[in-house]
């Protein structure tokens, strides 16, 4: 990226020229870059990381996160408590560990029980009705999916991380191509604990 002065012999410029270069401004400074069409890769790991990032961004306001426990770490890196919350939990997730609302994660208490999920196939979609087990999660449901039976749940086959609601939690998995899909789900606690995995359930999208 090149910083420019008086672009196009003017005082300012913005927009794309001939689909080749882009003039814009960032923090009050003009710059020019090559035009590129953004990609949207959908590998298993990328979907998993995006799912957790989305969940954490929502959780900062939807769940009782204690900002004070993230303050010192954020100040040490000159970032906000929110950004430190995201950073540290994404590091935990990359190691396939559950997220936590406090820093450091206590990882104590009783892990959530495995849920009982009823999947219902639909047009390019499958609805999952996730009923709490004996000990429900107080932070998240982690949903693993595979197109083949007998799969081993891992970081790379997580397709969604969602906030539990009054049981059952309803999640619609879409868009899907027609075919059979297999799911295993587990809960997560605010302390960073993850619970037992549910036995595999399956449904077909039409």
Angle between helices 44-62 and 81-94 (to 10 degrees): 140
pLDDT for 35: 64
Residue 28 has pLDDT above 90, yes or no: no
* Greater model confidence, 36 or 54: 54
Record the tokens describing residue 96, joined without a space.
Answer: 């396939």
- The tens digit of pLDDT for each residue in 68-92 reads 999 999 999 999 999 999 999 999 9
* Greater model confidence, 28 or 203: 203
Percent of the chain at pLDDT above 70?
85
Determine the average pLDDT of the residues in 194-205: 98
What whole-number distance in Å separates Cα of residue 46 and Cα of residue 159? 10
Residue 128 has pLDDT above 60, yes or no: yes
pLDDT for 18: 64
Half-sphere exposure of 17 (CA within 13 A, CB side): 11
The neighbour count for residue 16, using CB atoms within 10 Å, is 11
79 burial (CB, 10 Å; 0-12 / 13-18 / 19+) is: middle
Is this prediction's pTM over 0.95?
no
Domain boundaries, the chain: 2-34, 44-94, 116-205
Asked whether the beta carbons of 110 and 135 are under 8 A apart, the reply is yes
pLDDT bracket for residue 30 (50, 70, 90): confident
Residue 13 has pLDDT above 90, yes or no: no
- The tens digit of pLDDT for each residue in 130-157 reads 999 999 999 999 999 999 999 999 999 9
* CATH architecture of the region 116-205: Sandwich (2.60)
């Amino acid at each position: 990226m090149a910083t420019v002065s008086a672009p196009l012999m003017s005082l300012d410029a913005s927009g794309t020229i001939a689909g080749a270069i882009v003039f814009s401004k960032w923090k009050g400074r003009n710059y020019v870059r090559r035009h590129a069409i953004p990609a949207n890769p959908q590998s298993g790991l990328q979907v998993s990381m995006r799912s957790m990032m989305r969940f954490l961004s929502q959780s900062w306001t939807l769940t009782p996160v204690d900002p004070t426990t993230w303050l010192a770490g954020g100040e040490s890196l000159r970032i906000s408590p929110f950004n430190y919350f995201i950073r540290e939990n994404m590091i935990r997730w990359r190691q396939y560990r559950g997220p936590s609302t406090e820093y450091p994660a206590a990882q104590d208490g009783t892990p959530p029980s495995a849920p009982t999920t009823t999947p219902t196939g639909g047009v390019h979609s499958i609805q999952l009705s996730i009923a709490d087990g004996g000990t429900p999660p107080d932070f998240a449901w982690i949903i693993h999916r595979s197109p083949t039976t007998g799969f081993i749940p891992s970081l790379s086959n997580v397709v969604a991380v969602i906030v539990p609601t009054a049981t059952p939690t309803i999640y619609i998995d879409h868009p899907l191509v027609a075919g059979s899909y297999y799911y295993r789900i587990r809960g997560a606690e605010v302390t960073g604990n993850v619970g037992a995995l549910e036995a595999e359930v399956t449904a077909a999208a039409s």
